[in-house]
Amino acid sequence: MDHLKALRAMVGESQVLAGADAQPYAVDWRERYRGQALAVVRPAATDEVAAVVRYCAQHGVPVIPQGGNTGLCGGATPDDSGTAVILSLQRLNRVRGIDTDNDTMDVEAGCVLQAVQQAARDAGRLFPLSLAAEGSCTIGGNLATNAGGTQVLRYGNMRELTLGLEVVTAQGDIWHGLRGLRKDNTGYDLRDLFIGSEGTLGVITAATLKLHPLPVARCTALLAFDSIESAIAMLGRARAGMGASLTGFELMAGSCLKDVVRCFPQQRLPFEGPSADLPWYAVLELSDSESEAHARERFEVVVGEAIEAGIVLDAVIAESVAQSHALWHLRESIPLAEKQTGKSIKHDVSIPVSRMAEFVLGTNAALQAAFPGIRHVIFGHLGDGNLHYNVARGPEWAEGQLLACQDQVYALVHDRVNAVGGSISAEHGVGQLKRDALPRYKDPVEMAMMHRIKAALDPQGIMNPGKVLVAD
């Protein structure tokens, strides 16, 4: 059977790539996973997606859905068998409509997140999902991993930001589930089942997203701390003093910001003297719906009282939009600096905030005892308990030496995450990276139900095989 000829008949000759042309799609963003694909297929409409999946189902061809290919867990990379079709959704990139009365927008899965943000802004609304890869990641990928980002504290992750879905099933049928309803209790919540499933149950082709009013004013500050306990105390004060206006609280180890400044000399840490060499920092942001004056007064009272109490050692409050962007740019550049300094062992974990200090300090000590001289690259969304707890090589470590310890490092960190009631995946998904570890930490009954759902919706096992679940 000439699969390439059949697929080209469905989507066009130029939209089916094979051989060397397909190879860039078969490598993940971190360059940790490399596979081989039968072809990369780039449909331009939901009907074409359905036709491709229907064909693959009829012939038992595995399908790997892929958006912007910015994932960190190998969830959109094929194995090395060369039998799978990578289904790239980047040409499904239309904003189908915006309903400002209902505060919703319908967008296709291949829309880049930044374009969706701008389309909402042009309509006088806010789509609040924000993360470092927003210039290249797509809505479909965001949905597949239930992405969170920097404003989950106020607005929630993708599951909370989505009302309806359009999905191509593993059989090639189309579920027309685009609905802008905030209340719809007519059976099982299939929407939430597909969100976060990483393409293992079907292909999300479009979504109805929630919109919010644009804030009247924002206040942003970079805060400096002498301990992680002080940062957690500040989070509590910010919640109490700012309430629902608290938009972001991003924790960063001082070493992370030093890496950013070293890798990107055009950026700088806006502190001098001892404040430029502290172990912890945080970006704090408030979004206000009343006025600039109201926002500023509230913000300065909370920060000022924390300084007087000795919780915050120093603070820089942005005086302009440009200064606010510069503070956020420091935070958003950490993953880029980390990639530039070499491969690392990444953890995307979720920890109860009440046990965050216990986890960080105890795990740091345990890792140093087991692997002396490694570096801790710690940053993340403290406000919602999501920590990117990464391990990098120290001066005396070679990259290969560090990666050879990967399994032991994962086991140590994940065991400690589990011990404090956390999750080994907060927003990056499971993919290939955490697939084999999942049964160790999830309830056996929960795992059994997940396998039954997979078998019911994808009985042939063609949808993104080898991701999330170990094959039965």
User: Does residue 119 register a pLDDT over 70?
Assistant: yes
Average pLDDT value for the chain: 95
pLDDT the model gives residue 31: 85
Is there a single domain that holds both residue 158 and residue 209? Answer: yes
Residue 398 Cα to chain centre, angstroms: 28
Is there a single domain that holds both residue 210 and residue 251? Answer: no
Residues of the domain holding 317: 217-335
User: Does residue 72 register a pLDDT over 90?
Assistant: no
Is there a single domain that holds both residue 105 and residue 71? Answer: yes
pLDDT the model gives residue 290: 81
Digit-coded pLDDT (tens) for 440-468: 999 999 999 999 999 999 999 999 999 99
CATH (domain of 56): 3.30.465.10
Indicate whether 373 belongs to any domain: yes
pLDDT the model gives residue 449: 97
pLDDT the model gives residue 470: 87
Type and span of the H or E element at 444: helix 444-457
Count of domains for the chain: 3
Put residue 161 in one of left, alpha, beta given phi > 0 → left and psi -120 to 50 → alpha.
alpha
Contact 286, 298 (CB under 8 A): yes
Indicate whether 124 belongs to any domain: yes
Indicate whether 47 belongs to any domain: yes
Indicate whether 457 belongs to any domain: no
Of 335, 368, 389, which residue sits at a domain end? 335
Indicate whether 314 belongs to any domain: yes
Digit-coded pLDDT (tens) for 299-322: 999 999 999 999 999 999 999 989
Is there a single domain that holds both residue 319 and residue 365? Answer: no
| Cβ-based neighbour number of residue 97 at 10 Å | 12
Assign 279 a pLDDT band (cuts: 50, 70, 90): very high
pLDDT the model gives residue 180: 96
How many alpha carbons lie under 13 Å from residue 137 in its C-beta half-sphere? 25
Of 214, 241, 269, which residue sits at a domain end? 214
pLDDT the model gives residue 293: 85
Is there a single domain that holds both residue 30 and residue 167? Answer: yes
Is there a single domain that holds both residue 203 and residue 248? Answer: no
Assign 37 a pLDDT band (cuts: 50, 70, 90): very high
Round to whole Å and give the CA distance between 162 and 139.
11
User: Does residue 281 register a pLDDT over 90?
Assistant: yes
Round to whole Å and give the CA distance between 252 and 431.
26
- Per residue in 348-372, is it b (16+ CB within 10 Å) or e — as a string? bbbbebebbbbbbeebbeebeeebe
Is there a single domain that holds both residue 19 and residue 5? Answer: yes
Is there a single domain that holds both residue 288 and residue 322? Answer: yes
- Residue partners of 368: CB distance under 8 A and separation at least 6: 374
- Residue partners of 377: CB distance under 8 A and separation at least 6: 253, 255, 256, 259, 334, 338, 344, 388, 390, 391, 392
pLDDT the model gives residue 339: 85
Residue 290 Cα to chain centre, angstroms: 31
User: Does residue 253 register a pLDDT over 80?
Assistant: yes
Assign 29 a pLDDT band (cuts: 50, 70, 90): confident
Amino acid found at 332: E
User: Does residue 184 register a pLDDT over 80?
Assistant: yes
* Mean pLDDT of the 393-421 span: 95
Of 156, 191, 214, which residue sits at a domain end? 214
pLDDT the model gives residue 250: 96
Is there a single domain that holds both residue 226 and residue 199? Answer: no
Is there a single domain that holds both residue 161 and residue 113? Answer: yes
> What DSSP string describes 219-277?
EEEEEEESSHHHHHHHHHHHHHHHGGGEEEEEEEEHHHHHHHHHH-TT---S--GGGGG
Is there a single domain that holds both residue 38 and residue 153? Answer: yes
pLDDT the model gives residue 289: 82
pLDDT the model gives residue 76: 96
pLDDT the model gives residue 342: 85
pLDDT the model gives residue 232: 98
CATH (domain of 378): 3.30.70.2740
Assign 292 a pLDDT band (cuts: 50, 70, 90): confident
- Per residue in 381-415, is it b (16+ CB within 10 Å) or e — as a string? bbbbbbbbbbbbbeeebeeeebbebbeebbebbbe
pLDDT the model gives residue 14: 97
Indicate whether 13 belongs to any domain: yes
Assign 257 a pLDDT band (cuts: 50, 70, 90): very high
Indicate whether 451 belongs to any domain: no
* Mean pLDDT of the 243-247 span: 93
Assign 407 a pLDDT band (cuts: 50, 70, 90): very high
Report the percent of the chain where pLDDT is more than 70: 100
* Mean pLDDT of the 27-56 span: 95
CATH (domain of 258): 3.30.70.2190
pLDDT the model gives residue 1: 66
Digit-coded pLDDT (tens) for 203-221: 999 999 999 999 998 999 9
Is there a single domain that holds both residue 55 and residue 152? Answer: yes
Indicate whether 467 belongs to any domain: no
